[in-house]
Structure 1
Amino acid sequence: MAAHFQMNDLGALSYYIGIEVKQGKEALMLGQSTYASKLLEQSDMAECKSCMTPMEERLKLMKASTVAKEYATLYWSIVGGLRYLVHMRPDIVFAMGYVSRFMEDSREDHWATVKRLLRYVKGMVDQRIVFPKTGESRLQVTVFSDVDMAGDIDERQSTSGVLVFLGSAPI
């Protein structure tokens, strides 16, 4: 006995698992502004002041911090939510990797770093990835990398970062 399936045309994709899709004649845009706004509300930072960078420069945190413990479940929840936001926000990848180190035993100084990251997200909530629809150009990839050489205070491991630009170049 054969099963019969009916397929329906639901129109152009506009929203999928928290990712907003806007399809225009000039470009395809992907973003997560609604998701980011909900994350800011969940962390009671919807009305916070924004900042221009996701993390303080040369910030060094330790797992064996002596400051007071923070609510672990809140830290886990917000950092987990930010991890999902990374898919459309490559600008926060490094900061996310850094705050994820402290999931086991989060402290107030670790939470302050997460709050700084949330303030950055607040200022860039409408940021999107744009894929232009141009037939007369080709994509060009530019890559930069860096490493901090044993910058992890606890384990003396290095942290590396990669920045990838994908843009159109004239033929």
Structure 2
Amino acid sequence: MATYVDYLFVTGNSVKEIKNFKKDMSKNFEMYDLGLLTYYLGLEVRQSSNCIMINQEAYDRRILKEAAMDECNSTYIPIEFGLQLAKGSDEPKIDATLYRRRIGCLRYLMHTRPDMALSVGILSRYMHSPRASHDNALKQVLRYFKGTVRYGLSFKQGKSKKLIGYSGSSHNTDPGDRRSTT
């Protein structure tokens, strides 16, 4: 029985250890070294001697094109401050399948765009029965993506090993179920 693996990513702190690992693996398996990782599952990876940058620019542009918003005006605000959305409003319903698809695409983009977590999280609440106001808020998020298409994650080499985290809270922000957003 043959075993087949598409890709294997090898990382480490020591180039010597990585080379030894590859050498040992090639003794047991037929393999090819494709060099530094540049693209994987929509993630674009740029590596330099002191930084690794990961983004999804091509995927972002494809989402904008599919939504017919690739020529829209951009904005630098993902969601309006103080925006109040409700679940069971009297507004007209919109195409739920299309709304869910776009929210799903945005959720995948959040792998490299943590700045979108709040906005996409709020809009995800309304996938069951989306309304016109939800669609307008979604378009605002897409306009934000248009203006920030090159954003991503940057991992810089440094001497500090200190982990920094941030937290926030917002109590009773959803007028429908009174649940917190964070």
**TM-score normalised by length of structure 1:** 0.87
Q: Which runs of 4+ in 1 moved over 6 A?
A: 1-4
Q: Determine the structure 2 residue equivalent to 1:114.
A: 138
The answer to whether residue 50 in structure 2 is matched with residue 26 in structure 1 is yes
1:76 to 100, 107, 110: 100
Q: Distance in 2 between matches of 1:117 and 1:20?
A: 21
| Structure 1 residues 59-109: Cα deviation after superposition (integer angstroms, max 9, x where no partner) | 111100111111111101111000000010000000011000000001110
Q: Distance in 2 between matches of 1:48 and 1:2?
A: 51
Q: Determine the structure 2 residue equivalent to 1:141.
A: 163
Match of 1:28, SS state, is strand
Q: Structure 2: which amino acid aligns with 1:88?
A: T
Superposed CA RMSD in Å reads 1.6
| Structure 1 residues 11-30: Cα deviation after superposition (integer angstroms, max 9, x where no partner) | 11100111001111221110
| Structure 1 residues 8-54: Cα deviation after superposition (integer angstroms, max 9, x where no partner) | 11111100111001111221110100010001011110011111111
Larger radius of gyration: 2
The answer to whether residue 174 in structure 2 is matched with residue 152 in structure 1 is yes
The answer to whether residue 34 in structure 2 is matched with residue 14 in structure 1 is no
Residue segments in structure 2 that go unaligned for 5+ positions in a row: 4-27
* Deviation of the 1:142 alpha carbon: 3.0
Q: Distance in 1 between matches of 2:156 and 2:61?
A: 26
* Deviation of the 1:2 alpha carbon: 8.2
Q: Structure 2: which amino acid aligns with 1:109?
A: S
Specify which structure has the higher proportion of strand: 1
Structure 1 pair 62–2 and aligned structure 2 pair: CA distance change class (3 A): closer
Quick one: percent identity of the two aligned structures? 39
Residue segments in structure 1 that go unaligned for 5+ positions in a row: 161-171
**TM-score normalised by length of structure 2:** 0.82
Specify which structure has the higher proportion of helix: 2
